[in-house]
Amino acid sequence: MCRARGREAESGENQRNTTEDGGGYRQSQGRLTTQLFACLAVSLSNLSAGAVNGWTAAALPSMKEDPAIVLTTADIAWMASIISVGCMLGSIFAGRVMDLIGRRMTLIVLAPFLLVGWLTIALASNTTVILLGRMICGTATAFLYCASPVYCSEVPEARLRGSLGLMPSLFITFGIVLSYMAGAFFSWRVSCHICSIPVILMFIVLWVVPESPYWYLLKGKTRECKASLRWLRGPRYDFSSELEEMEAKITSVGREVEYCELWRPRTRWPFLISLFMATLQQVSGGNILVVFTGLIFISAGVENPRMAVVSTGIIQIIFTFLCLMGADRLGRRPLIIVSTCTIGLANTLLGFYYLMSNVYEIQWPPSVPLVTILTAIAGFCLGCRAMPWLLSTELFNTTIRSTANSASIFYNRLLNVTILQVYPFYEEAFGAHAVFFTFGSLSLLCSVVAYFVVPETKGKTLEQIQEYFESTRSGSRGQPYERVDGN
């Protein structure tokens, strides 16, 4: 328990207040601006990752108009999915690298590789070279997806972790929109140069912020940990109790990473929840709508599909920001349930539109698929996209956090590459209506499962979340969830 030393009035951002969370823990509030800046700097890496992920949405229609590039159905599937293959490969090593050189330094080291990937695509003369560049970018994004969410979950105080922990997801959205805009107004080659700009910015800004205090403590560097906390929380912040709690938790779980830890009682249930959240994210169909946006608008008969793609980018920014703002106010679980229900119903309606149009030849107004797709993407961004990344960093103890996050990302990308590969062929064989009926029903099913299995972590410190899973061990339902929810 952390007690404020006094009620001395202080000016500006260094004013210390005393708050009490639902679990009865009292702690002084640190400086907001430095915590925010650190998370913003690291989240720039996800601006690059988002651009990699969303590039095909506008680039594929542009590439089809390029006489020098010939695209088959298999080429289209691989163009979208090969980044996930690279991400799977990178995730095997990402956790170890993060624990070896640090979260921040991992991002710095990966920046040149990501830049090489973008330039390879831009200068490519055929699809093989384009796929090589996409593979390089995908491998680099594994480290970005691992390092930035972990950093942004370890750096903020508990009261800020929901909002700041979701910052990487917001910047993924910004990156996707950047790739949409670049592809809508420029050729696919020029768009590669535009999308490489965030890589350079990321490399420069990351030298300013400190390493995660948790990583320093994991390496036994207490002095550096204190310096990092002082930079992040402010010079007048009393972090002695926070540091003591961090040290006690690391001592109790050990400093050495053991893969068998993933299946021990205290980690097994968080790991299964993390895998479920990855499943929820992928089977919702949101990534299909994001990656194949332009082609879906064309097939649905939407007028001016390029500007429609830009509209989806705006929707993504708005609703990802709402997710970020609501995480610490409404909680993680309500947003997940609302998100999955929304995208499930929208996908089902889109399935009916394709069924009426393609099978029964009953034409609905072209505004119907546009509004439906925008609603589905809004629902996806309200929780399905961001919450799996946040929970995969919140649920684990410090020693295993990097490794568990890497394993979750490997599974996430495995599902992603499978769905992206299957989608074009599944659509050709059974029709677009079957695709979206499938996504819609799976999303609605996941919303029900999420209600029962996903715990609420709003307002809890990382140590409190770990103590909860250690005390429940078997992950039984009922009372344990009430404890985490603070009811």
3 state SS of 211:
coil
10-residue mean pLDDT profile of the chain (487 residues): values are 35 38 49 90 88 85 82 84 90 88 93 94 90 94 89 85 84 88 88 92 92 89 91 84 78 60 77 92 90 85 83 90 87 93 96 92 88 95 89 80 83 88 89 94 95 87 78 48 41
Q: Tell me, what's the pLDDT at 292?
A: 84
What confidence tens digit (pLDDT) does each residue in 109-129 have?
999 999 999 999 999 988 899
Does 102 reside within a domain? yes
Q: What's the first-to-final CA gap in the chain, in angstroms?
A: 20
Each residue's pLDDT tens digit, 239-279: 788 788 888 767 765 555 556 667 777 788 888 999 999 99
HSE value, Cβ hemisphere, 13 Å, CA-based, for 51? 28
* pLDDT, position 260: 66
Burial of 141 (0-12, 13-18, 19+ CB in 10 A): buried
Nearest-angstrom CA–CA distance, 474 and 484? 15
Query: pTM of whole model > 0.85?
Result: no
Q: Is residue 319 part of a domain?
A: yes
Q: At what angle do helices 432-453 and 332-354 cross, to 10 degrees?
A: 160
Specify the amino acid at residue 166. Answer: L
C-alpha count within 13 angstroms, C-beta hemisphere, residue 389? 33
Q: Which amino acid is at 122?
A: A
Assign residue 417 the CATH number of its domain. 1.20.1250.20
Residue 164 tokens, joined? 């700041």
CA distance readout (Å), 379 to 69, 205, 223 = 35, 32, 44
Lookup: tokens for 448 = 């029900």
Encoding tokens for residue 3? 């007690």
Domain containing residue 416: 31-485
Residue 355 has what pLDDT? 94
CB distance 283 to 441 below 8 Å: no
Give the Cα separation of 462 and 396 in Å (integer).
Answer: 8
Q: How many domains does the chain have?
A: 1
Q: What is the pLDDT of residue 257?
A: 55
Residue 72 within any structural domain of the chain: yes
pLDDT for res 446: 95
Position 439 scores a pLDDT of 96
Residues 202, 45 contacting (CB under 8 angstroms) = yes
Q: Taking each helix axis as running N to C, give the angle between helix 32-64 and helix 188-205, from 0 to 180 degrees, rounded to the nearest 10.
A: 160
Query: Do the Cβ atoms of 369 and 302 come closer than 8 Å?
Result: yes
How far is 383 from 166, CA to CA, in rounded Å? 10
Residue 275: which of 399, 415, 140 has the closest Cα? 415
Q: Which residue has the tokens 């009292």?
A: 26
Alpha-carbon span 324 to 197, nearest angstrom: 25
Asked whether residue 14 is assigned to any structural domain, the reply reads: no
Evaluate the CA torsion angle 283, 373, 381, 106 in order and state its sign: positive
Q: What is the model's pLDDT at position 18?
A: 39
Q: What is the pLDDT of residue 449?
A: 95
N residues, the chain? 487
- The number of beta carbons lying within 10 Å of the beta carbon of residue 235 is 8
- Residue 58's pLDDT is 79
Answer yes or no: is 346 within a domain: yes
Distances (CA, A) of 383 to 147, 239, 333, 343, 419: 20, 32, 9, 10, 20
Q: Is residue 18 part of a domain?
A: no
Asked whether residue 25 is assigned to any structural domain, the reply reads no
